[in-house]
Amino acid sequence: MRMFARPHLSGNLLGLLAALVVLTGCEPQDPVSRAQLSAFGSTMEVTLIGVDRRRATEIMQVLQNDLRLMEAAWHAWEPGPVSHMNTLFNEGNTAFTAPPSVLPLLRLSRALSEQSEGLFNPAIGHLFREWGFQGRAVECLQPPPEEVIDLVVSAQPRMSDIEIDGLRVSAAKDIVKLDFRGIQKGFAIDQAIARLQEFGVHNASINAAGDLRAIGSRAGNPWSVAIRGPRSGGVFATLKISGNEAAFTTGNHQQNFTWKGELYHDLIDPRTGYPAVGTASVTVLHANASTADAAATALFIAGPKYWHRVAKKMGIRYVMLTDSEGRVHMNPAMQARVKLQGSNHEVIISKPLV
């Protein structure tokens, strides 16, 4: 599904993208093109196989514009479609026409939230705002007052509070405030991969700070992604990507702050209103980036005790979870795909997910 037009780029950006495209390889019929694109707070490295330089430059221009349009459309607090929807939700249970740029993401998020037992919950934007994760500088962050958190949690904003009737949407509670941070990067990458396929690209990858989706292969070899350790930041494991797959990792090291010696991160448990405890990181492998992104968040919050149950409900077949004690939990199928670096890991293998 094509969501966005192909806007015109300025000359400066054209030159920048052209400079970023690097061609390698001995075979002229099998060039490798790379560009670094910026969106959703990440640098996304796009690699295309078998696309000539001129065509690759044109494709990268389109992808950069698509990504910037999506980022602007889904921003939770800057002026735009999502922030406008949040304002309308706050004004009461009155139906309005959802912006076309948001509706597909809203529908998918609602479905994935239900599958995750509500642990993936983009409706808790009020909590992200109270914690300061919506644009405040890290040095200004501190935990919000307990009574403020209790007020939001007691109202129990859920994605199921949002009614979708064709193009019309409404919210049963004015406490609902959308923040798609747990899925928007994955959804955007899925749209970018679909765009590449429209252009006839069959072998490509998009790597956003270690979150990767790939199609095809690299000269007949599988793609691979390095998974960073939740503590040291070094390479913790490597994972091979076969064909059309995505690997996404969520961790407490990605967006956080320290207050009075204690670490607080932005993976908020909607049941408590506080950062989830018990988990350091989760990696999910799935056929699409949207589900992998949302599931990584949900399983992080589910923690070592309940991740397996939630993964089964979400249809996830490959999971690796590192708990706060450093133990590595994974299902047998993931164990067969991932290669841990080092030998000093305590590994706990679960029952199969399928």
User: What average pLDDT does range 320-338 have in this prediction?
Assistant: 97
> How high does pLDDT run on average in the chain?
90
Q: What class has domain 217-354?
A: alpha beta
Confidence label for 305 from pLDDT (cuts 50, 70 and 90):
very high
Residue 17 is predicted with a pLDDT of 47
Confidence label for 295 from pLDDT (cuts 50, 70 and 90):
very high
Residue 315 is predicted with a pLDDT of 97
Helix (H, G, I), strand (E, B) or coil at 20: helix
Which tens digit of pLDDT belongs to each residue from 113-169? 999 999 999 999 999 999 999 888 878 889 999 999 999 999 999 999 999 999 999
| Long-range pairs of 14-20 with CB within 8 A, sequence gap ≥ 24 | 14/57, 14/61, 17/57, 17/60, 17/61, 17/64, 18/57, 20/60
Helix (H, G, I), strand (E, B) or coil at 317: coil
Which among 98, 50, 52, 37 has a CA at the least distance from the CA of 73? Answer: 98
Residue 342 is predicted with a pLDDT of 82
User: Does 318 have pLDDT greater than 60?
Assistant: yes
Superfamily name with CATH number, domain 81-171: ApbE-like superfamily (1.10.3980.10)
306 DSSP assignment:
H
User: What average pLDDT does range 296-308 have in this prediction?
Assistant: 98
Enumerate the domain spans of the chain. Answer: 1-68+182-209, 81-171, 217-354
User: What average pLDDT does range 89-95 have in this prediction?
Assistant: 88
Which tens digit of pLDDT belongs to each residue from 3-57? 444 344 444 444 444 444 444 444 445 799 999 999 998 899 999 999 999 999 9
User: What average pLDDT does range 204-216 have in this prediction?
Assistant: 96
User: Does 277 have pLDDT greater than 90?
Assistant: yes
Least confident of 35-44, 136-145, 209-218, 318-327: 136-145
Please state, in angstroms and as integers, the Cα–Cα distance from residue 287 to each residue in 109, 148, 244, 246, 250, following that order: 16, 39, 6, 6, 17
Which tens digit of pLDDT belongs to each residue from 252-268? 877 889 999 888 999 99
| Helical ranges in the chain per DSSP H | 11-20, 53-74, 81-90, 103-115, 125-131, 146-155, 184-198, 289-314, 332-337
Query: How many Å apart are CA 62 and CA 160, to the nearest integer?
Result: 35
Q: What is the CA radius of gyration of the chain?
A: 20
Query: How many Å apart are CA 90 and CA 102, to the nearest integer?
Result: 18
Do 81-171 and 217-354 have matching folds?
no
